[in-house]
């Protein structure tokens, strides 16, 4: 399959414990609970629109499953915990640069923290980026005090590269840790 062909629909990815798929309307209430959680909010940099009514919900679904996908801007997966058939998070791969680089971002319900589920999802999406999209580099920007996310990325094979001073994170400027996984290095692990 060619790079551009992957943007026809959200690719369905699976791991032993997770299903990564498109968002559906019935996922919205659980998703809203996750993004409204103060433990999640503190690391989003004020960048999440806390919509909770129509037509915002329909617009958001149309954007992530349609317009943004077709413009080859971003993949947005709903993360479902297979054993409970429950939405537990979201993971994105976007910010594509010349079909060679992208940025990964995610958030999960704190209720499922410490179980390795975020690491599992990051590994799966990273593998998709390298194997299917043939990306050279996948990076992540993380606030320095977001220790759980730093651990997730490092367990998934990302390497800390440095601090971006006063980097735009969401809608605010923060010193931000940059981590990356490089295809050749990932293949050798």
**In this predicted model, what pLDDT tens digit does every residue of 70-113 receive, in sequence order?**
777 889 899 999 999 999 999 999 988 998 999 999 999 989 98
Numbers of helices and strands, H then E, in the chain: 7, 8
Structure confidence by residue, pLDDT tens digits, 140-182: 999 898 899 999 999 999 999 999 999 876 677 888 999 999 9
> Structural domain boundaries of the chain?
3-182
Q: Where are the alpha helices (DSSP H) in 3-143?
A: 28-36, 38-41, 56-62, 68-70, 117-131
Question: How many Cβ atoms sit within 10 Å of the Cβ of residue 58?
Answer: 12
Q: Does domain 3-182 have CATH number 3.40.630.30?
A: yes
CB 76 within 8 A of CB 9: no
User: Is 23 in contact with 61 (CB distance < 8 Å)?
Assistant: yes
Q: How far, in Å, CA of 90 to CA of 121, rounded? A: 9
- Model-level pTM greater than 0.85? yes
């Amino acid at each position: 399959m060619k790079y551009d062909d992957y943007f026809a629909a959200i690719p369905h990815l699976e791991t032993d414990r997770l299903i990564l798929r498109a968002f559906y309307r019935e996922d919205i209430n659980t998703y809203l609970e996750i993004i409204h959680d103060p433990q999640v909010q503190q690391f989003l940099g004020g960048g999440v629109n806390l919509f909770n009514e129509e037509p915002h919900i329909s617009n958001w679904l149309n954007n992530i499953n349609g317009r943004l996908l077709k413009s080859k801007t971003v993949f947005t997966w709903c993360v479902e915990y297979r054993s409970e058939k429950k939405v537990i998070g979201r993971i994105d791969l976007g910010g594509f640069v010349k079909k060679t680089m992208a940025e990964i971002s995610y958030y999960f319900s704190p209720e499922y923290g410490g179980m390795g589920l975020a690491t599992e999802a990051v590994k799966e999406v990273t593998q998709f980026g390298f194997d299917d999209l043939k990306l050279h580099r996948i990076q992540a920007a993380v606030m320095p005090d977001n220790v759980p996310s730093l651990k997730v990325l490092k367990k998934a094979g990302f390497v800390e590269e440095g601090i971006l001073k006063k980097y735009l994170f969401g809608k605010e400027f923060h010193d931000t840790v940059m981590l990356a996984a490089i295809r050749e290095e990932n293949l050798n692990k």
